[in-house]
Structure 1
Amino acid sequence: MHRYRSHTCGELRASDVGTDVRLSGWLHNRRDLGGILFIDLRDHYGITQLVARPGTEAYDALDKLSKETVVRIDGEVVSRGAENVNAELPTGEVEVEVSTVEVLGAAAPLPFTINAEDGVNEERRLEYRFLDLRRERMHRNILLRTSVISAIRQKMTALGFNEMATPILSATSPEGARDFVVPSRLNPGKFYALPQAPQQFKQLLMISGFDRYFQIAPCFRDEDARADRSPGEFYQLDVEMSFVEQEDVFRPIEKLMTELFEEFGNGRHVTSPFPRIPFREAMLKYGSDKPDLRAQLELVDITDVFEGSEFKAFAGKHVRALPVPDVSGQPRKFFDQLGDYAVSQGAKGLAWVRVGEDGSLTGPIAKFLTEENVAELTKRLALAPGHAVFFGAGEFDEVSKIMGAVRVEAAKRAGHFEEDVFRFCWIVDFPMYEKDPDTGAIDFSHNPFSMPQGGLEALETQDPLDVLGWQYDIVCNGVELSSGAIRNHEPEIMLKAFEIAGYDRETVEEKFAGMLRAFRFGAPPHGGIAPGVDRIVMLLADEPNIRETIAFPLNGNAQDLMMGAPTELEEARLKELHLTVRKPQPK
C-alpha cells in the first residue's frame, strides 16, 4: 500500500465497503456522539467520515488532536446504513472505521475556524491566507479560476490563436497608471518598468507576422484598490489580431465569452449577441460606460424640456429623468429610500412625481411643473397611470454618475431587474481625447495607441473633442471586463495623435522608438483586446470582491500581510543598486 494513501477523501463509495484503505488529510471537524468519535477528514478532493470507537488506540489519538492536524489513517470502509446517509457528500454512503493513526503535521491553535465562515476580517484572512484557502468557498474559487484559465487556453487555441510570452522587464509606457519600477544594477541610475500591459510587445508580434496572438498575461500597476480591481498585479487574457477591423475582433471574443460563461455560469443565461452601444448613448441612457443591462430601465435626457424654466432646481442644468413603471403599489417609503440612496451617491436629494389614474402628476415637485412640462414629459417618457419619474439635475458627469446608480437601485427595488443572467454589451465609439477640467489641457481619454476614426484627416480638421477612436470595452453585468482598440499603425498618424495630446515629435520618437521603427518597416492593420481574468472569475464565482478569486492577493494598501512585503532593503543592497532612500518627512 502507498505510504500515504490508497484513496483520496473524495473517492470512496458504497462499492468499497469491506475494503481496507489508507487516507491522508486534515482533521476538518470532530463530533463525539454517545462516546463514539466521528471525524471529517478533508483533502483537496473531498471529505470522508471516520469512526473511532472507545477503548481503541485510534480513539485515544484522534480525541486529543486539534483541528487541521494532518494525519494518515488506516481502516476499513463500512456502510453508514440508509438512515445515516449524508446525501450532500459524494462519500456520504460510507465511513471508515479507523484502526491506525499517524500524525504527519501537527496544527497550532487556529486564528479562525476553517470549517465554517465565521466573519473574520479580511486582514486576518490575508495574514493567514494558507488557512483561508482551506475553506470550502475559497478552495472552490481558486479551482474555478484554474478551470477557467485552462478553458480559455483551449478555446483560444481552437480559434487559431498562438500563445506567446512577452517580457516582464521593459520600459515605461503611458498606460494610464503608475509603473512599478525595478532598478538596474548593471546600468546605474536607470530603471526597468514592470509592464502595465504587454501593449507594445503584442503589437510588435503582429508587425513580426504572427497574425493571431494570445497570452494569460501578468500586468502590474501601482494604483489604488477597488472591489473589482486588485492593487499591484492582475492577469488578463491579452489578444491581438492582424488585418482586422472592429467586428473581426468582436467575433472570436464574443464566442469565447458566451461559451465560457455558459460552461462555468451554473446555469445562468448568457444573452447573445452582445449589443453595440456608443459611448455617448451609454452615458445618456445608463449614466455609465459600463452599464448593468440587467436593470431594465433607461434614463432620458430632458434638459430641453426645462430650458428657460422658472423652476430653479432644473433651470440651466442638465436634467435626466428615470421613468419607472408599475409602482402604483409602492408606499411612500419606497420613494424616501431611493432618495436616501441618491444622497449616499452624492446627490443633494432626489426629485420625483407619480402618475395618477387620471394621468395627473403628484409628488414633491409636481406643483412646479407647467402644463407644457407635464404634456411634454408624458409624451417623451410614455407615461401611464402607475408610473413614477425620478429626476436628477446638475453637471453632465455628476448627474450621469448619480442617476446611473439610481437606475440600477430603482430597478432592483421595483422588480425590473433580471437575476441569474449574464448581460454583455460592447461600448464603442469612445472619444479619442478629453479635456482636463482643471488645466484645460487635451489628453488621451482611452488608449493612446488607438486609430482615430477618420485617420489623419480627422486629426487635422476636427475639434479634438469630437474625434472618435476605434476603441471599445466589453462589459458584463455592470463590470468592465476589458478595453481594446484597432491600433494606430501609421507613424505620421501616431505622431499627430500624440502632438494633439501635448507630446512633441522628439519625445514620441524617444519614448516609442522601437514601436515607430517597426511601423516604418511595414506594419499590418491590427487590433486587440485584453479581458481581465480576475474579473471574469469574480463574475462566475458571484463574488463582490476580486480578492476572493486570487490565491495570494495584496490588501487594499498593496501589502502582502502573509509574506511581509514590501520590505526595506539593507544598505549593502541599496549600494549595489546605486540607490539612496529618501523617506517622506512627517507633516
Structure 2
Amino acid sequence: MLTNMADWRRTHSCGVLTDKNIDEEVLLMGWVQRRRDHGGVIFIDLRDREGITQIVLNESAPVARETGESVRNEYVIAVKGKVAARPDGMVNLNIKTGMIDVIVSEIKILNNALTPPFMIDEHTDAAEDVRLKYRYLDLRRPQLQKNIMMRNNITKSIREYMWANGFIDIETPFLGKSTPEGARDYLVPSRVNAGKFYALPQSPQQFKQLLMVGGFERYFQIVKCFRDEDLRADRQPEFTQLDIEMSFIDRNDIIDMIEGLIAKLFKDILDKDVQRPFPTIMYKDAMELYGHDAPDTRFGLHLKTINNMVENCQFKVFSDTVKNGGIVKAVNAKGAGKAFSRKVLDELGEYVVSLGAKGLAYIKINDDGIQSPLVKNLGEELTYEIIKVMEGQSGDIIFFGAGDENLVNLTMSKLRLKLGNLLGLINPKQYNLVWVLEFPLLEWSPEDKRYAAVHHPFTAPMDEDIANIDSNPKSVRAKAYDLVLNGSEIGGGSIRIHRSDIQQKMFERLGLGEEEIKEKFGYFVDALKYGTPPHGGIAFGIDRIASIFAGTESIRDVIAFPKTQKATDLMSGAPDYVEPKQLKELYIKSDISANKPV
C-alpha cells in the first residue's frame, strides 16, 4: 500500500481524457467504481468527482495485473499508464472519456475499503435514512457531487454579480438576542452570563438594517440561518440564505437589481436566457386565481370564487358557507372527464380530506349531459350558469371547495397542482418567474388574539395606507414582494420602515407595550432616530434555488450534510445528550439528561 506520495503526482482527473490525449503517459487517482475480470484482462472503472475513466490491466504489465486482482469496489488507487483508443465496438459516447482507455503500467493501492452498505452509483435504491447515516459514502455518488458542485457555481455567480454592482460582503453575528421572528428560536445558554441565552439568527434582519443606518448602502451576505419549526422536503433547521439590503432606493430599484442577478444565474448555471422584466401579480389576485401566494404559473386551471352565485342557493353547504363568512371556489379541470377514472376521482376526494376538507364536490360534463349529485341541490338552471361561468365543455370536470377561506385556498391550490400533474400540464423543463406584490401588512392571530406581521415587524406599509393601521388594519398593504419560481417562493423582501415614529406605531399595532418594545427592540428603535436612510432588501433561499436548478424534490439533495425531517443528523447522532457537568456549567438542570438512556 502506497504511503509516500512524493513520486506519484496526479496528471489528470478521471473525467477529462479524450482521443486528443492518445499516446500520453498519465497518472490517475480515484475510487474503484467497478472491476471486471475478463480472463486475464482486468477492466476497472476509476472514478473521481469529475467523472470515470476505464483502465485496463493486461499481460503487458503482469505485476500491475496481479495487484489489480485484489482490488475491490471503493478501493482508492493510483495508476500510471498510456492513453489508448478503445477497440472498435467498445466506444461509449455517453461519457466524455468513452473513446479511450488507459493501459496500466503501474498500480498502487492507496487504501482499501469495506463493502459499502449500498452501491455508489447514479441510481441507488438505498433508503434515504441509510444514505444519510453513511452520508460520506452517499456524497461519492455522481448525482450528489454534481448537485454540490452546481451549488458552488451558484454562490460563485452570486458573489461575482454582487461585487460587480458595488455590494459589500459583511458578516453579522450568530449569537444574538431572542426577538419575535415568526418561528421558534434555537437558544444557546451563556456560561459567563448565568441564566441568560443567546438566540441563533432566523435571519440577519435587524443587523442588515443597522448596516444601512451605519452608511454601508449596499450589503450582501451568504449566511446560515436557523429556525426551530416543523420540517418538510423544502425546509431544514439550518439553511443558507442570500441576504441583501440597499439604501436610497424604492421597490423598483430592488426588483431591477434582483432580476439582473436571477438572469445571470440562469445563464451561468443552466445556460438559459430569461425574459425581463419578470411578470408581476398582486397578492389578492394570486390568492383568487391560484389560492396561494406562491403561484405556479406554468399552467392554467385558474380558481374562481363563486360566492355571489351560490349565496342564496338551496344547497346549504354552499349558501351557509357564504353566510358564515367562508368562500366557495371552483376549478375547471379541462379534459379530466375523459382522463380520470372513478378510482382517480375517489383518490382526489381522499386527498383533499387529508388536507382538512370535508369532501370534494364536482360536476362532470358528458356528451349526453351532466353527471353530479349537485344538480339536485343546485337545480339545473344554477348548475348550467356555473358551468357557463367556468367555461365548462363536454369532457371537463368542475371541482368545488367550500368552507373557511384559508382552508379552501389551501385545499384548492393543492388540488390544482395535483390536477396539473395528472393532466400532464406541467412542463418540468419550463421555468416561470413571477413577482408577487402588495401583500397584507397584518393578519389576525386567533391564538394570540392580536394582529401579527405577515412578513416581519420592520416591513413598511404603503404610504397611502398608513392612516388605516389603527382603524382598518386588514386593509393595510405592505411594501413587500416575493419572487416565485415554478410555484416555489425563492426570495422575499420589503421596503423597510426607516422612521422611528412609524416603527413605534407598528409595534403598538402588534400589541407590544412600551416596556416590551424597549426590552426587545430598544437599541433598534433608538438607531432609527439617528438619520436612517430609506432602505429595503430581500433574502433568497440558496438551498431552494439549488434544488430547483438541480431538478430534485428535496433540498436535502443539494446540502452536503442535511438533517432529517425530525431535525436529526443520522450520521453524527446529533442532537445528543450531554454530560451533567456540562449542564451544571451552564446553570441548567435537566431530568431527561440526568437519566440518559443506556
TM-score normalized with structure 1 length: 0.93
Question: In the alignment, which of 549, 553, 562 is matched to residue 562 of structure 2?
Answer: 553
Question: In 2 relative to 1, CA 271–422 (structure 1 residues): closer, same or farther, beyond 3 Å?
Answer: farther
Distance of 1:536 and 1:76 partners within structure 2:
42
Question: In 2 relative to 1, CA 455–171 (structure 1 residues): closer, same or farther, beyond 3 Å?
Answer: farther
The offset of 1:216, in angstroms, is: 0.6
Residue number in structure 2 paired with 1:157: 163
Distance of 2:52 and 2:374 partners within structure 1:
62
The offset of 1:508, in angstroms, is: 1.0
| 1:203 maps onto 2:203 in alignment | no
| 1:489 maps onto 2:489 in alignment | no
Q: Is the 8 A contact 2:187 2:200 kept in 1?
A: yes
Q: Over residues 390-448 of structure 1, what are the superposed CA-to-partner deviations in whole Å (9 max), with x where a residue is unaligned? A: 11111111111111111122223234334411112222222222222345322222211
| 1:61 maps onto 2:70 in alignment | no
| 1:40 maps onto 2:49 in alignment | no
The offset of 1:17, in angstroms, is: 2.4
| 1:442 maps onto 2:451 in alignment | yes
Q: Is the 8 A contact 1:197 1:219 kept in 2?
A: yes
Question: In 2 relative to 1, CA 386–569 (structure 1 residues): closer, same or farther, beyond 3 Å?
Answer: closer
Distance of 1:457 and 1:327 partners within structure 2:
47
Q: Which secondary structure state, in structure 2, belongs to the residue aligned with residue 313 of structure 1?
A: helix
The offset of 1:153, in angstroms, is: 0.8
Correspondences of 1:304-383 after superposition (within 5 Å): 304-317=308-321, 318-327=327-336, 329-330=338-339, 332-333=341-342, 335-356=345-366, 361-383=370-392
Q: Is the 8 A contact 1:271 1:421 kept in 2?
A: no
Q: Over residues 11-59 of structure 1, what are the superposed CA-to-partner deviations in whole Å (9 max), with x where a residue is unaligned? A: 3222332233221111111112244210011122221111112682222
Q: Is the 8 A contact 2:30 2:76 kept in 1?
A: yes
Distance of 1:372 and 1:584 partners within structure 2:
68
Distance of 2:39 and 2:376 partners within structure 1:
74
Q: Is the 8 A contact 1:294 1:419 kept in 2?
A: no
- AA partner of residue 347 (structure 1): A
Q: State which drifts further: 395-404 or 250-259.
A: 250-259
| 1:128 maps onto 2:150 in alignment | no
- AA partner of residue 490 (structure 2): L
| 1:138 maps onto 2:153 in alignment | no
Q: Is the 8 A contact 2:46 2:54 kept in 1?
A: yes
* Gap regions ≥5 residues in structure 1: none
| 1:263 maps onto 2:259 in alignment | no
Residue number in structure 2 paired with 1:26: 31
Q: Over residues 450-497 of structure 1, what are the superposed CA-to-partner deviations in whole Å (9 max), with x where a residue is unaligned? A: 112237842555322222221222211111112211111111211111
Q: Is the 8 A contact 1:296 1:417 kept in 2?
A: no
Correspondences of 1:113-262 after superposition (within 5 Å): 113-231=119-237, 233-262=238-267
The offset of 1:300, in angstroms, is: 0.4
Question: In 2 relative to 1, CA 141–460 (structure 1 residues): closer, same or farther, beyond 3 Å?
Answer: closer
Question: In the alignment, which of 454, 457, 478 is matched to residue 487 of structure 2?
Answer: 478
Q: Which secondary structure state, in structure 1, belongs to the residue aligned with residue 532 of structure 2?
A: coil
The offset of 1:327, in angstroms, is: 4.5
- AA partner of residue 247 (structure 2): S
| 1:425 maps onto 2:425 in alignment | no
Distance of 2:348 and 2:148 partners within structure 1:
37
Q: How many residues get paired?
A: 583
Q: Is the 8 A contact 2:364 2:370 kept in 1?
A: yes
Q: Which secondary structure state, in structure 2, belongs to the residue aligned with residue 540 of structure 1?
A: helix
- AA partner of residue 130 (structure 1): Y
Q: Which secondary structure state, in structure 1, belongs to the residue aligned with residue 146 of structure 2?
A: helix
Distance of 1:193 and 1:362 partners within structure 2:
58
Question: In 2 relative to 1, CA 377–108 (structure 1 residues): closer, same or farther, beyond 3 Å?
Answer: same
| 1:514 maps onto 2:545 in alignment | no
Residue number in structure 2 paired with 1:289: 293
Correspondences of 1:296-307 after superposition (within 5 Å): 296-307=300-311
Question: In 2 relative to 1, CA 254–32 (structure 1 residues): closer, same or farther, beyond 3 Å?
Answer: same
Residue number in structure 1 paired with 2:324: none
Distance of 2:64 and 2:99 partners within structure 1:
22
Q: State which drifts further: 388-397 or 147-156.
A: 388-397
* Gap regions ≥5 residues in structure 2: 1-5, 322-326
RMSD of the alignment, in Å?
2.4
The offset of 1:328, in angstroms, is: 5.8
Q: Is the 8 A contact 1:270 1:421 kept in 2?
A: no
- AA partner of residue 376 (structure 2): K
Correspondences of 1:525-544 after superposition (within 5 Å): 525-544=534-553
Q: Is the 8 A contact 1:163 1:214 kept in 2?
A: yes
Distance of 2:187 and 2:470 partners within structure 1:
39
Distance of 2:219 and 2:7 partners within structure 1:
44
The offset of 1:579, in angstroms, is: 3.1
Distance of 1:455 and 1:235 partners within structure 2:
35
The offset of 1:162, in angstroms, is: 2.0
Distance of 1:328 and 1:270 partners within structure 2:
36
| 1:106 maps onto 2:112 in alignment | yes
Distance of 1:459 and 1:498 partners within structure 2:
15
- The sequence identity of aligned pairs, in percent, is 41
- AA partner of residue 363 (structure 1): S
Question: In 2 relative to 1, CA 343–568 (structure 1 residues): closer, same or farther, beyond 3 Å?
Answer: closer
Q: Which secondary structure state, in structure 1, belongs to the residue aligned with residue 89 of structure 2?
A: helix
Distance of 1:262 and 1:378 partners within structure 2:
44
Question: In the alignment, which of 8, 22, 35 is matched to residue 13 of structure 2?
Answer: 8
Q: Over residues 237-281 of structure 1, what are the superposed CA-to-partner deviations in whole Å (9 max), with x where a residue is unaligned? A: 1011112222221111122123312432365x7465333222222
Question: In 2 relative to 1, CA 104–481 (structure 1 residues): closer, same or farther, beyond 3 Å?
Answer: same
Q: Over residues 182-237 of structure 1, what are the superposed CA-to-partner deviations in whole Å (9 max), with x where a residue is unaligned? A: 22222222222211111111101111111111111111112222111112x11111
- AA partner of residue 135 (structure 1): R
- AA partner of residue 580 (structure 1): K
Q: Is the 8 A contact 1:181 1:191 kept in 2?
A: yes
Question: In 2 relative to 1, CA 153–103 (structure 1 residues): closer, same or farther, beyond 3 Å?
Answer: same
Question: In 2 relative to 1, CA 574–327 (structure 1 residues): closer, same or farther, beyond 3 Å?
Answer: closer
Q: Which secondary structure state, in structure 1, belongs to the residue aligned with residue 503 of structure 2?
A: helix
Q: Which secondary structure state, in structure 2, belongs to the residue aligned with residue 241 of structure 1?
A: strand
Q: Which secondary structure state, in structure 1, belongs to the residue aligned with residue 166 of structure 2?
A: coil
Distance of 1:329 and 1:561 partners within structure 2:
46
Question: In 2 relative to 1, CA 379–184 (structure 1 residues): closer, same or farther, beyond 3 Å?
Answer: same
- AA partner of residue 222 (structure 1): D
Q: Which secondary structure state, in structure 1, belongs to the residue aligned with residue 309 of structure 2?
A: helix
Q: Is the 8 A contact 2:46 2:55 kept in 1?
A: yes
Q: Over residues 544-571 of structure 1, what are the superposed CA-to-partner deviations in whole Å (9 max), with x where a residue is unaligned? A: 0111000111222222222232233334
Q: Is the 8 A contact 2:288 2:303 kept in 1?
A: yes
Question: In 2 relative to 1, CA 457–330 (structure 1 residues): closer, same or farther, beyond 3 Å?
Answer: closer
The offset of 1:117, in angstroms, is: 2.6
Q: Is the 8 A contact 1:11 1:91 kept in 2?
A: yes
Q: Over residues 102-157 of structure 1, what are the superposed CA-to-partner deviations in whole Å (9 max), with x where a residue is unaligned? A: 11122122111112433212222112111100001101000010001100111122
Q: Is the 8 A contact 1:75 1:100 kept in 2?
A: yes
The offset of 1:340, in angstroms, is: 4.1
